[in-house]
């Protein structure tokens, strides 16, 4: 038998995995509660962990999504006591962005699983370098389950339109407030919470913080930007540096919406994006003008066609399913 403990999260990536596991016939061990809040969620997960002892048997598989808050070590231990195997899909590494764990503490936790699904080869090398001995599989990119189709529009625009979706707070992305001199051939469409500009910039349009379906219906752009930090010349700070090892979920959103992607050259996703002709990479935000000026209509169309093919894969859970089977 194959089991999982439903994440029931505000995190779309985790909820998408829950949906796929349910559709594939995995059995949910968690308590079917309709109550909301931190206390309800605590008991929701604890119930699922305790049910491992009564449901999992020798040869069974338990799927966990990491981070799993307080119960990850306990869930792995219970499953092994019962003769089962544990497979873990990593969404976030706390040692990098939030620093709630040291790298050694995080790897001690992760070493309790039998198979670890990591974001990419860079993350795979990191966990192995810090002592993980089990089997690892690379996800490559997060799937993005949504039935809503993006609305059709003519591309490319003139000037080019670039989209940024995510947290817009100055403490996280100060670079958004210093862009003007770098934007000669393009304008910027912002989607997300926390935009703090005091003066209106004709090159920047903030569309508010939209729900997933609304965002998919309304987003319009020629490229989606994946960039974090305070600098135009590099992705820096905790959020920016994290791009060197993780797969940002916004990348999946852009591709699912049919929008090619611009990534930092030092980002872990660079190879996947460029190898599959899903966008291009830059050293600095200041490089975007040159990249756009040298792009031919034929090159852009080929890129859009590649994105459309991958959009179909993301919408049906292709990469999650592949990683489970590898």
- Domains and their CATH numbers in the chain: 2-138 (3.40.50.2000), 160-315 (3.40.50.2000)
Q: Residues 194-245: pLDDT tens digits?
A: 998 878 889 999 999 999 999 999 999 999 999 999 999 999 998 899 999 9
Q: Residues 229-287: pLDDT tens digits?
A: 999 999 999 889 999 999 999 999 999 999 999 999 999 999 999 999 999 999 999 99
Q: What does the pLDDT read at residue 326?
A: 84
Tokens of 259: 């929008």
Residue 74 main-chain phi, psi, to 5 deg: -65, -45
Assign 136 to helix, strand or coil. Answer: strand
Tokens of 142: 């997060």
Q: What does the pLDDT read at residue 33?
A: 60
Beta bridge partners of 226: 263
Whether the per-residue pLDDT at 299 is higher than 60: the answer is yes
**Closest Cα partner for 252 from 241, 242, 263, 244?**
263
Q: What does the pLDDT read at residue 46?
A: 86
pLDDT band (50, 70, 90) for residue 35: low
pLDDT band (50, 70, 90) for residue 70: confident
Q: What does the pLDDT read at residue 234?
A: 96
Whether the per-residue pLDDT at 36 is higher than 70: the answer is no
Q: Residues 2-20: pLDDT tens digits?
A: 999 998 788 999 999 999 9
Q: What does the pLDDT read at residue 125?
A: 95
Whether the per-residue pLDDT at 37 is higher than 70: the answer is no
Q: What does the pLDDT read at residue 277?
A: 98
- pTM confidence score: 0.95
Q: What does the pLDDT read at residue 94?
A: 84
Residues 233, 190, 265: CA angle, nearest 5 degrees: 30
Q: What does the pLDDT read at residue 224?
A: 98
Tokens of 295: 């792009």
**Which is higher by pLDDT, 133 or 144?**
144
CB of 227 closer than 8 Å to CB of 201: no
Average pLDDT along the chain: 93
Whether the per-residue pLDDT at 97 is higher than 80: the answer is no
Whether the per-residue pLDDT at 56 is higher than 60: the answer is yes
**Closest Cα partner for 62 from 50, 74, 75?**
75
Q: What does the pLDDT read at residue 246?
A: 96
> Over pLDDT 70: what percentage of the chain?
96
CA distance 19 to 26: 10
CA distance 143 to 12: 10
Whether the per-residue pLDDT at 34 is higher than 60: the answer is no
């Amino acid at each position: 038998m194959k089991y999982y403990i439903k994440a029931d999260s505000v995190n779309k990536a985790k909820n998408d995995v829950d949906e796929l596991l349910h559709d594939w016939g995995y059995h949910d061990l968690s308590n079917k509660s309709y109550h909301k809040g931190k206390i309800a969620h605590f008991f929701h997960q604890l119930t699922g962990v305790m049910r491992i002892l009564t449901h999992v048997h020798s040869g069974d598989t338990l799927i966990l999504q990491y981070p799993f808050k307080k119960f990850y070590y306990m869930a792995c231990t219970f499953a092994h006591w019962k003769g089962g195997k544990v497979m873990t899909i990593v969404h976030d590494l706390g040692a990098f962005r939030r620093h709630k764990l040291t790298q050694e503490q995080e790897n001690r936790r992760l070493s309790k699983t039998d198979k670890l699904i990591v974001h990419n080869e860079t993350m795979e090398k990191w966990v192995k370098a810090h002592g993980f001995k089990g089997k690892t599989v690379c996800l490559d990119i997060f799937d993005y389950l949504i039935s809503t189709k993006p609305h059709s529009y003519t591309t490319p625009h003139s000037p080019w339109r670039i989209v940024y979706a995510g947290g817009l707070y100055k403490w996280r992305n100060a670079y958004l407030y210093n862009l003007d001199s770098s934007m000669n051939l393009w304008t910027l469409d912002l989607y997300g919470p926390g935009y703090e500009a005091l003066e209106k910039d004709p090159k920047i349009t903030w569309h508010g913080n939209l729900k997933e379906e609304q965002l998919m219906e309304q987003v319009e752009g020629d490229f989606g930007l994946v960039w974090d930090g305070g600098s135009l010349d590099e992705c820096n700070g905790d959020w920016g540096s994290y791009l060197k090892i993780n797969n940002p979920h916004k990348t999946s959103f852009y591709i699912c919406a049919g929008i090619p992607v611009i990534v930092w050259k030092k980002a872990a996703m660079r190879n996947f994006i460029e190898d599959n002709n899903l966008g291009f990479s830059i050293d600095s935000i200041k490089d975007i003008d040159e990249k756009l000026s040298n792009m031919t209509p034929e090159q852009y169309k080929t890129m859009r066609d590649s994105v459309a093919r991958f959009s179909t894969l993301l919408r049906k859970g292709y990469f999650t399913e592949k990683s489970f089977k590898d």
